[in-house]
Amino acid sequence: MLKLTVEEIISKIKNEETFEAVSNDYSFTIKINEYVHYACAAVHNGHQFRKELWNNCLHTAYERWFEEDPETKEMVKSHPIVIAGMDSRFEYDLNRDPESAIYTDAWGKQLWKNPLPANQKEKSLQKHTNFYKVVHTLITKLEEKFGVCIVYDMHSYNWKRWTREVPTWNLGTHNINNNRFGNVVESWREILAKTPFPNGIKATSKINDTFQGNGYFLKYITQNFKNTLVLATEIAKIYCDELAQIMYPEVVRSVEQYLKTELKKHAEEFYKAHRLYE
């Protein structure tokens, strides 16, 4: 893995170079083993939290972890193109627009003892800006090369906070072109519903049940690229004990192994059905 500036990463993408890198500020990673018509993203995978923020933060490390999406990068690591955040959403949220990316409160609790100084906000927002510069360059390249593109936007959610039965997988589709891509969404839902979890975990999948796909990552790509579909894919945190902060690596591994083949098949079917002919 290389350590590269954002400018170097962008240059490599424009030149269609394959590489694996961490940004020079350690805010995100990107891997491109091959230029293909699909990409995977895990924007909330990170847990890093800049040290100068520690004493000012009212949330514990566990409270931050609870709201992050640990292991979502691990679930799609085998695919050719993967981009993932390394920083906690509590520093800046890659799935919110720049104006709301830095929280003042989080899930009903004030986040900072004292308001953040402007220079600390600017440092975090620059990372947000850099990430989207790379995303924009990547999707531009994939649309230029293949005509159409599909992005698997991986997230997780805390199912134990719900007071009703919720699905193992949820797809959020309110901000995509469902007339054009409805069949793709449904086929993805059907694939996820067959996930072979261990430990007797039942696989279920629904559309817009717990979340509707209102994240900035999806909206940014959808609004800027007319031929790219983003599938906001949320897995319930059945792969850990979210209250005791214990990971279940065998469950994570089962998801990774299943998606290794099934996600790729789904992306191939998408391309066959939606590629643009000259």
Please give, one letter per residue, the 3-state secondary structure of 92-121. CCCCCCHHHCCCCEECCEECECCCCCHHHH
- Phi and psi angles of residue 149, each rounded to the nearest 5 degrees, phi first: -150, 150
pLDDT tens across 146-190, in order? 999 999 999 999 998 898 999 999 999 999 999 999 999 999 999
Domain ranges for the chain:
2-274
Task: Give the single-character DSSP code of 275.
Answer: P
Taking 80 as the threshold, does the pLDDT of residue 252 lie above it?
Answer: yes
User: What is the three-state SS of 254-272?
Assistant: HHHHHHHHHHHHHHHHHHH
6-59 per-position pLDDT tens digit: 999 999 999 999 999 999 999 999 999 999 999 999 999 999 999 999 999 999
- The residues near 15 (Cβ < 8 Å, ≥ 6 apart) are none
Tally Cβ neighbours within 10 Å of residue 14. 13
Of 74-83, 103-112, 198-207, the poorest mean pLDDT is in 103-112
Q: What are phi and psi of 97, to 5 degrees?
A: -70, 160
For 18, other C-beta atoms within 10 Å of its C-beta total 12
Quick count: other Cβ atoms within 10 Å of Cβ 7?
A: 11
The yes-or-no verdict on residue 277 having pLDDT over 80 is: no
Instruction: Give CA 269 to chain center in angstroms.
Output: 22
Confidence of residue 108 (pLDDT cuts 50, 70, 90): confident
Q: pLDDT category, 107, cuts 50, 70, 90?
A: confident
Query: If 0-12 CB within 10 Å is exposed, 13-18 middle and 19+ buried, where does residue 165 land?
Result: exposed
pLDDT given at position 160 = 87
pTM: 0.96
Q: Which residue has the higher pLDDT, 259 or 109?
A: 259
Q: What is the DSSP letter of 78?
A: T
Q: Which CATH number fits domain 2-274: 3.40.630.40, 3.30.70.1140, 3.40.640.10, 3.40.190.10?
A: 3.40.630.40
If DSSP codes are grouped into helix, strand and coil, which group holds residue 82? Answer: strand
The pLDDT of 223-247, averaged and rounded, is 97
Distance from C-alpha of 30 to C-alpha of 9, rounded to nearest angstrom: 9
In the chain, what is the straight-line distance between the N-terminal and C-terminal CA atoms, in Å?
37
**Residue 278 pLDDT:** 40
Task: Assign 192 a pLDDT band (cuts: 50, 70, 90).
Answer: very high
Distances (CA, A) of 136 to 14, 27, 173, 187, 223: 11, 17, 21, 27, 11
Residue 82 binned pLDDT confidence (cut-offs 50, 70, 90) = very high
**What pLDDT does 275 receive?**
86
Percent of the chain beyond pLDDT 90?
A: 95
Average pLDDT, the chain: 96
User: What percentage of the chain reaches a pLDDT higher than 70?
Assistant: 99
In degrees rounded to 5, what are phi and psi of residue 30?
A: -145, 135
